[in-house]
Chain A
Amino acid sequence: MGTFHDDKGPLHGITVFAREGDTVYVGRCDTLTATHLVLHDADIHVEGQDGRSNDEYLQRAARFGIWKKHETLVVAAGGLGPVQPLGDRVRGGGKAAPAATPTAEATAPAVPKPAADDALVTLTAGAVAEVRRLLLAEPGPGRGLRLGVAGGGCSGLTYKVEFDARRDGDLVVPQEGFEVYLDRKSAIYLRGVTLDHEPGLASRGFQFRNPNATNTCGCGESFAV
C-alpha cells in the first residue's frame, strides 16, 4: 500500500524481531545492512529473563507490544538470524513486509547535500493553499509559517511546522499571501525541501520531501542526514 519509503527496504519503520543465540531483539527497524541492525524504541530479552523463555516473551510482545528500554539499539548483524516483522507472530505471514537478512547496502554520506542555487524551500500549490486557509481561519499580526528541525524522532531529527512571527536572523521565503521563516540552523537541513499537503481520507496532512535526508522514518516525521 506504499506506506513506507521504497528506498529504505521493506522493513524500514516496521516493528521487527531478530534472534542471536539466547537473545532476542525487538524494535522498530530503521536500518538493516550487512554489518548492523538499527532499532528504535527497542527491547532485549535473554532466554529465561524474568522467568520467561524467548518464545513466551515474543508471544506476549506480538500480542501487546513491548515496553521499550532503548531509544536506539545498534546490533551487529554477524550472528543475527532472520529479521522478521513482529506482527507475523500474530498474523502468521509477511503480508506487510517479508523477513529479511542482513545484506550489503550502500552507506549514504552523513552530510547535507544542499546546492547553493537550490530554492531554499518550495511549497506545492496544495501546501500554499492549505497554509493560506489555516492562516485565514486564525489570522494574526505578522504571522507566517515557520519551518524548522529539532533533535528527536526515530531517525534523529524531526520537522517542526508552526505559525509564528518573523524573528531576527530568519531566512524568509515569500509566498503568495504569507511568508515562510527558517532559522539559519534549520535552513542547513531544509535547503531544497519541498513541503506538500496531502488531503483526503488518509489525512497525512503536511509532508516534507527532503533531498538531504539519507534516512527517513516510515511516517515521514523524522529523518537523518
Chain B
Amino acid sequence: MPYPEQMVAPMRAELVSAGVRELRTPADVEAWFAQTQGTALLLVNSVCGCAAGSARPAVKLALENEQRPARVATVFAGQDLEATARARELIGDVPPSSPSIAMFKDGQLVHFVPRHLIEGQSAEVVAVELIDAFAQYC
C-alpha cells in the first residue's frame, strides 16, 4: 500500500533537486525508454530506508561526476505502481528489486545494481561503483 504522498515527497524531491526526472505514469516511462540514443540511468526508488537511504544520495553523488549518463530518471516502487511495473518490463531480463539502479547505452541494459548490492553500503561506496560504470559507458 503506498504511503501518503506528503510523506514520500521529500524522497522524490531529493532526486528531483539533483536533476533526476520523475516518471510517474506508464506513459512517462514508455516515452523515456523510447529514446534509445546515448546513455541513460534509471533509479527504482523505494521508501525502504536501509537501502534507498543510500541509493538516493549515491545517485546524487555520482551525478556530480563529469562523466555521467545523458539522461537520468526515477520511478518510485511502492508508490507509482503502474509506472514502476512498466519500467520493470522495459528494464530487461533482471529480477525486480527496489531500490535498484539500471544503466543503459543505446537502449541496451549495460549495468545493473540490484538492491542487495546497495543494502548495508554507504552512499559513497555505491556512488564510486556508479562512477566506475559511468567511466566505462559514458
Chain A contacts to B: CB under 8 angstroms: 1, 3-4, 13-15, 62-68, 85-87, 90-91, 95-97, 134, 137-138, 150, 160-163, 199, 201-207, 218-221
Q: Confirm or deny: B26 has a beta carbon within 8 angstroms of a beta carbon on chain A.
A: no
Contact status of A218 and B50, CB under 8 A, knowing A64-B112, A202-B57: yes
A17's nearest neighbour on chain B, judged by CB, is B116
Contacts of A66 in B (CB 8 A): 95
Whether A206 pairs with B7 at a CB distance below 8 angstroms is yes
Distance of B26 from chain A, by nearest CB (Å): 22
Q: Confirm or deny: B127 has a beta carbon within 8 angstroms of a beta carbon on chain A.
A: no
Interface centre among B14, B112, B119, B121 (most CB of A within 10 A): B119
Whether A3 pairs with B119 at a CB distance below 8 angstroms is yes
A/B interface sample: 12 pairs, CB < 8 A: A64-B112, A64-B114, A65-B100, A65-B115, A95-B121, A95-B125, A96-B119, A161-B3, A163-B4, A202-B49, A205-B10, A219-B47
Contact status of A68 and B119, CB under 8 A, knowing A134-B7, A219-B49: no
| CA–CA, A107 and B137, complex, Å | 49
Whether B11 pairs with A203 at a CB distance below 8 angstroms is yes
Whether A150 pairs with B120 at a CB distance below 8 angstroms is no
Whether A87 pairs with B7 at a CB distance below 8 angstroms is no
Q: Confirm or deny: B94 has a beta carbon within 8 angstroms of a beta carbon on chain A.
A: yes
Distance of B50 from chain A, by nearest CB (Å): 4
Contact status of A64 and B125, CB under 8 A, knowing A86-B116, A90-B117, A96-B119: no
| CA–CA, A68 and B56, complex, Å | 24
Interface centre among B50, B100, B112 (most CB of A within 10 A): B50
Q: SS class of chain A's interface: helix, strand, loop or mixed?
A: loop
Give the contacting residue for B1; candidates A87, A91, A150, A199; CB below 8 A: A150
Give the contacting residue for B4; candidates A4, A13, A68, A161; CB below 8 A: A161
- Interface positions, chain B 4-18, Cβ under 8 Å from A, are 4, 6-8, 10-11, 14
Distance of B78 from chain A, by nearest CB (Å): 9
Distance of A123 from chain B, by nearest CB (Å): 14
Interface centre among B3, B122, B125 (most CB of A within 10 A): B3
Whether A202 pairs with B53 at a CB distance below 8 angstroms is yes
Distance of A133 from chain B, by nearest CB (Å): 9
Give the contacting residue for B56; candidates A64, A203, A207, A219; CB below 8 A: A203
Give the contacting residue for A97; candidates B8, B47, B95, B120; CB below 8 A: B120
| CA–CA, A170 and B54, complex, Å | 37
Distance of A211 from chain B, by nearest CB (Å): 20
